[in-house]
Chains A and B, each alone.
Chain A
Amino acid sequence: QQQVKQSPQSLIVQKGGISIINCAYENTAFDYFPWYQQFPGKGPALLIAIRPDVSEKKEGRFTISFNKSAKQFSLHIMDSQPGDSATYFCAASSTSNTGKLIFGQGTTLQVKP
């Protein structure tokens, strides 16, 4: 019940295209859903996060869509750029608890020029 399932494992997108990564969770106590971006040899960096009281959040080219009833959320990267090539992790946590993050398996995104 603590798992967060992420797909796809890898993704190749042409420059200018839309990258879509999906995650699903089971624990209804989760109330905070961040996405992290990680470049090789670096620590995860927070990209964007959402709470279940909204269905969508947009920051620049990055959008999270959230479906509470389906317990799913997704990251959309619009106008994907080669500099977006990285590994993306979704995560979930319960803010009423210790706030530990449960991460998905990660998606390696390659944006081709």
Chain B
Amino acid sequence: EPEVTQTPSHQVTQMGQEVILRCVPISNHLYFYWYRQILGQKVEFLVSFYNNEISEKSEIFDDQFSVERPDGSNFTLKIRSTKLEDSAMYFCANKRRGGSLNEQFFGPGTRLTVL
């Protein structure tokens, strides 16, 4: 069964540094999402991406965040200047298409630790 993969599994960085989190979605899935989960808390939506552009973003997704599909397959989340409060698990998710099929498949996550 196809799976969503994410790299790295754990990223430790210094405050103010840039990080790039990578996701390889399931082939032929068209809708892409990033979510984050601060330790012990609920999963929060960050951004959705469809047809090579952002379709929706949350209040969390400020100017320090960006997403792209650099090579048409990988899907990346960049944090330009990390803050302590960015420490969380970041999950990539994707689904085939909209309408009646809304099942989102999540990757295993990247644990980001900002020191």
The residues of B that contact A43 with a CB separation of less than 8 Å are 4, 91, 106-109
In contact, B45 and A32 (Cβ under 8 angstroms): no
In contact, A99 and B44 (Cβ under 8 angstroms): no
* A41, A91, A95, A105: the one within 8 Å of B98 (CB): A95
A98 at the interface (CB under 8 A from B): yes
Q: How far is the CA of A43 from the CA of B106 in the complex (A)?
A: 6
* A44, A98, A103: the one within 8 Å of B55 (CB): A98
Known: A44-B91, A104-B42, A105-B42. A99 touches B106 (CB 8 A): no
In contact, B104 and A97 (Cβ under 8 angstroms): no
In contact, A45 and B45 (Cβ under 8 angstroms): no
In contact, B45 and A100 (Cβ under 8 angstroms): yes
What band does the interface of chain A fall in when counting residues whose beta carbon is under 8 Å from B?
Answer: 20 to 34
Minimum CB distance partner of B4 in chain A: A43
In contact, A93 and B43 (Cβ under 8 angstroms): no
Q: How far is the CA of A79 from the CA of B77 in the complex (A)?
A: 41
A49 at the interface (CB under 8 A from B): yes
* A27-61 vs B, Cβ < 8 Å mask (1 yes, 0 no): 00000101010000111111001000000000000
* A34, A36, A44, A102: the one within 8 Å of B45 (CB): A102
User: Main secondary structure on chain A at its contact with chain B?
Assistant: loop
What band does the interface of chain B fall in when counting residues whose beta carbon is under 8 Å from A?
Answer: 20 to 34
Minimum CB distance partner of B46 in chain A: A100
Instruction: Looking at the assembled complex, report how far the CB atom of B109 sits from the nearest CB atom of chain A, in whole angstroms.
Output: 5
Q: How far is the CA of A93 from the CA of B103 in the complex (A)?
A: 11
Minimum CB distance partner of A33 in chain B: B102
Known: A95-B98, A100-B33. A46 touches B45 (CB 8 A): no
In contact, A42 and B102 (Cβ under 8 angstroms): no
Q: How far is the CA of A112 from the CA of B56 in the complex (A)?
A: 42
Q: How far is the CA of A16 from the CA of B104 in the complex (A)?
A: 30
* B41, B43, B56, B109: the one within 8 Å of A42 (CB): B109
Provide a sorted-by-A list of 13 A–B residue pairs whose CB atoms are within 8 angstroms: A36-B43, A43-B91, A44-B106, A46-B103, A93-B102, A95-B98, A95-B100, A97-B56, A98-B31, A98-B56, A101-B33, A104-B42, A105-B42
